[in-house]
Amino acid sequence: MKAIQEAITGKEDAGESSSPFQALVQFYCAFNSGDLAMMSENWAQTDDIAMDNPLGGIKRGWAEIQPVYDRLFNGPAEVYVEYFDYTLHETADMFYAVGRERGFFRLGGEDVTLAIRTSRIFQKIDGRWKQVHHHGSIDDPQLLSRYQSAVLGTRS
């Protein structure tokens, strides 16, 4: 299977979440525009969804995941990511995407270039794709440390 190199930025025509591509576009549109309502539409509203990202810990259920996006969207940081080098794997009621994110995080004069291995799992619920799992990892230990320090306000 050949990976798709053309990046999803969220500026593509998202339409409705009737295709895996459109569901991914909706996520990156919500993320890069800081749209919490759209982000809420993208995620399933259940207790068994999960998000595991480079800042540590696993958030379970929308009640734990939503505040992470709320702080990010309404905080002082500027963040942008796009999805590339990805493959899509689909069944009748589920798909997952495996790829990479690139972008940046800026806060208080700190500018961190992001490179994150990212997977997302979506489930078809009431005819629409809803995100049920996200995992992101940063390979480079120095980049991970810089990102965590910038976001969490810690210095090593």
For the chain, what is the mean pLDDT? 92
- Residue pair 43/155 in contact by the 8 Å Cβ criterion: no
Indicate whether 128 pLDDT > 80.
yes
Contacts of 14 (CB under 8 A, 6+ apart): 22, 25, 26, 29
- Residue pair 102/27 in contact by the 8 Å Cβ criterion: no
Backbone angles phi, psi at 125, to 5 degrees: -125, 120
pLDDT digits (tens, 9 = 90+) for 12-58: 986 665 899 999 999 999 999 999 999 999 999 999 999 998 876 89
5 burial (CB, 10 Å; 0-12 / 13-18 / 19+) is exposed
- Residue pair 122/106 in contact by the 8 Å Cβ criterion: no
Q: What does CATH list as the number for 20-152?
A: 3.10.450.50
Ranges of each domain in the chain: 20-152
Indicate whether 156 pLDDT > 90.
no
| Residue 54 confidence (pLDDT) | 83
DSSP string, 106-152: EETTEEEEEEEEEEEEEEEETTEEEEEEEEEE---HHHHHHHHHHHH
This prediction's pTM: 0.92
Structure tokens at 109: 């004069």
| Residue 151 confidence (pLDDT) | 74
| pLDDT bucket at 137, cuts 50 / 70 / 90 | very high
| Residue 84 confidence (pLDDT) | 98
Structure tokens at 154: 């810690």
Instruction: State which H helix or E strand residue 82 sits in.
Output: strand 78-90
